[in-house]
Amino acid sequence: MYQFIYNKIFQLLSKQAPATGIGLFRCLYGLVTLQEIFFLNYFDHLIFDPIPFIDVEFPAIPLFLGLWLVIAVFVTIGYRYRFAMTANYLFWLVFVNFTAMQRDFDGGFDTFMIGAGFFLLFMPGDRAFSIDCLRYKLSNPFVHYSAYPPQTISALAYQLPVFICLGWLYFDSDVHKLFAEQWRNGLGQWLPATQPYYVSALDMSPLLNIEWLQKTAGYTIMVFQATFMFLFAHRCLRVVYLVIGIGLHLGITLTLNIYPFGMGMLCFYTLLVPFSWWRTIGSGLKSSRPALTVFYDKQCPLCNRTVLTLNHFDLFNRVDFKNAQDYAFNNPVLAAIGMDTLLTDLYALDGRNRIYYGVDTYRRILIKMGYLAPFGIILGLPGIKQWADKKYRSIADSRIRIACDSDCLVVTPLADNTLYHRIFERYGGQKPKTLARKLAKIMVALIVLQLNATIHYGIFYRLPIAYEKMAISQPVSQASNALLMVSSTFFGITPHALYLHDHFEGYDRILAITYLDAKGNERWLPFVNEQGRLLAPNWGRVHSMWANIAVTPNINNVRLKKFIMKVTAFWGQKIGLDLENTVFNIKMKKIDSPVRWVPDQLHKNFASEWVSIGSVYWRHKEISYDLPVDLNSL
């Protein structure tokens, strides 16, 4: 096995690929992180306070979320890549492992994001769609942007993260699925989509009510996950796995209310897109003929940097930049203006030979770029236009011109301190076989960590044998748990036994909370509605808290009371209730979680009647419960 891994790594190290997919992956990963930070900021008191708004244990949480937000923006735009990715990785580790997110508010994708962040530390995510690319060009202002060739990277940067972060996750999950009856019946994805707590606002009943479609999808998912890591890189099958994978996770995002998990997984499929597609897409999006030609002073450093910056954001290649000294005399309109006048401003010509200069040139550039057109329109508004003209004139008239000799045209390499450059390009370029051997050994070590999670928790834990009674089982279990703690904390390698039989078996009742308003009318807290659905924005990790920890097949009264306290205090404050004078009613209704297909099961669960089983109220910042001693007997 080691020799096979070594040969494959060595082969991929020498194969070059465009950097487009990696850059887009970094952008999407940053956006998913950004939305999660906004989510945490909105629910900070619910998640981090022992008693929301009453006992605030971590008052500095908004500050650290703000710092993380800045870092996530850096990741998304690709600014100071090494620093941003390292800081982002540490923020994920700290928030997931040292706050209430670790136990009570598991997002279902936290370990996955940690694993992806770990790989991004070593990936060339700054080679495309990044501000760091622009910084490199700006360090050589007199070199025209056309002199920079397209960025290429090792194909290993694509396949290794997909193999580990997706392939192992799928295979481990599939092993667990073999022990779940609903998955063996082809209804593994159908069952959660019929449970009120788990569905999004979209009604997917028309699809859920087609039995053959649901079973086909269920068995397809199992085959897809079992074979993914072995066949995804095959040239003839890559597109098949790409389409099925996108469909699977897009379905999760739209159907269930665990959308962060679906979006996080979708990010990885940018790495599965065939390289030729990126080239074709790039050629198709870029204009064959520029809609605007801009002329600048090649002896002005500020003008050159302005051109490099504007070209960097001209994603569709709609603007062509030429230096006035070499090209303006070819156009009679510009030649008539005179070189001395041309060099005082930034001039532009469109396809109809209409001429623009000064701020109007910038307006036309932004408009022609397409996606930045709103900024061009704003720049032309009364008041803003006059201010921009004045500002532009003061800068243009004070700029410095220098005579550029041959030394100006020499590209000065920008110091690249990323781990990818130091390991894969500098060290790998000198000793490719040595690097391949080291990477193969690291790969074997990671495989051992994954096998520990899969074999112990996916097989032995679920087999109907007296494994736990064996004399050797206790030390083996302790060692396995220790390995799992390391692999889960730092690499995101953990068992993926999600929504299986042991989760839904006996899941036959759900709870909701209402309150009495000032007029004595009963109203639903904006948490669980009359159908039993968790309302937005109570999705993601808040859903996990209520549907996976508070309300389970075997309800633990201590945990349930804790989360009733948190929900009533949080939402009571959010909607302006006077907690001291509000009575909250706890309601329950029966639902079914069948392992065999039942027509219109979602609506049947929606239509089930609610009954009041107790109430809670706050007095002097303390909560009192009037609930049955044993909810499991109801």
Instruction: Specify the DSSP element, H or E, that contains 512.
Output: strand 509-516
Which residues of the chain fall below pLDDT 70? 403-415, 461-474, 476, 501
Closest CA to 323 of 391, 401, 229: 401
Beta bridge partners of 511: 588
Closest CA to 525 of 539, 514, 538: 514
Domain co-membership, 346 together with 303: yes
The pLDDT tens digits for 450-485 are 888 778 777 776 666 544 555 555 676 777 777 777
Q: Tell me if 10 is assigned to some domain.
A: no
- Residue 323: other Cβ atoms inside 10 A: 18
The pLDDT value recorded for residue 59 is: 85
Range of the domain at 366: 299-403
Pairing of strands 16-18, 347-350: unpaired
Q: Which two tokens stand for residue 2?
A: 């080691």
Strands (E), 312-452: 319-323, 347-350, 355-357
Q: Do 611 and 589 contact (CB within 8 A), yes or no?
A: yes
Domain co-membership, 342 together with 257: no
Q: Tell me if 531 is assigned to some domain.
A: yes
Q: Tell me if 484 is assigned to some domain.
A: no
**Burial annotation 241-256 (CB, 10 A radius, 16+ → b, else e):** bbebbeebbebbbebb
Q: Tell me if 285 is assigned to some domain.
A: no
Domain boundary among 403, 418, 440: 403
Domain co-membership, 306 together with 241: no
Domain boundary among 380, 403, 426: 403
Q: Tell me if 86 is assigned to some domain.
A: yes
Domain co-membership, 230 together with 331: no
The pLDDT value recorded for residue 179 is: 86
Q: Tell me if 162 is assigned to some domain.
A: no
Domain co-membership, 267 together with 307: no
In terms of C-beta distances under 8 Å and separation of at least 24 residues, what long-range contacts does 39-46 make, across chains too? 39/260, 39/537, 39/540, 39/541, 40/65, 40/95, 40/101, 41/65, 41/69, 42/537, 43/537, 43/542, 43/570, 45/570, 45/573, 46/542, 46/566, 46/567, 46/570
Pairing of strands 583-590, 522-524: unpaired
Domain co-membership, 249 together with 348: no
Cis before 161? omega within 30: no
Amino acid present at 335: A
Domain co-membership, 140 together with 64: yes
**Three-state secondary structure call for residue 616:** strand
Instruction: Specify the DSSP element, H or E, that contains 159.
Output: helix 156-161
The pLDDT tens digits for 546-573 are 999 999 998 999 999 999 999 999 999 9
Phi–psi pair at 322, nearest 5 degrees? -130, 145
Domain co-membership, 232 together with 313: no
Domain co-membership, 331 together with 250: no
Amino acid present at 22: I
pTM over 0.85: yes
The pLDDT value recorded for residue 616 is: 95
The residue to which tokens 């599965």 are assigned = 272
Domain boundary among 388, 403, 418: 403
Domain co-membership, 225 together with 363: no
Q: Tell me if 348 is assigned to some domain.
A: yes
The pLDDT value recorded for residue 54 is: 93
**Three-state secondary structure call for residue 267:** helix
Domain co-membership, 342 together with 264: no
Would you give the end-to-end CA distance of the chain in angstroms? Answer: 55
Strands (E), 351-465: 355-357
The pLDDT value recorded for residue 227 is: 96
Q: Tell me if 412 is assigned to some domain.
A: no
Number of domains in the chain: 3
Burial of 2 (0-12, 13-18, 19+ CB in 10 A): exposed
Burial of 434 (0-12, 13-18, 19+ CB in 10 A): exposed
Domain co-membership, 263 together with 374: no
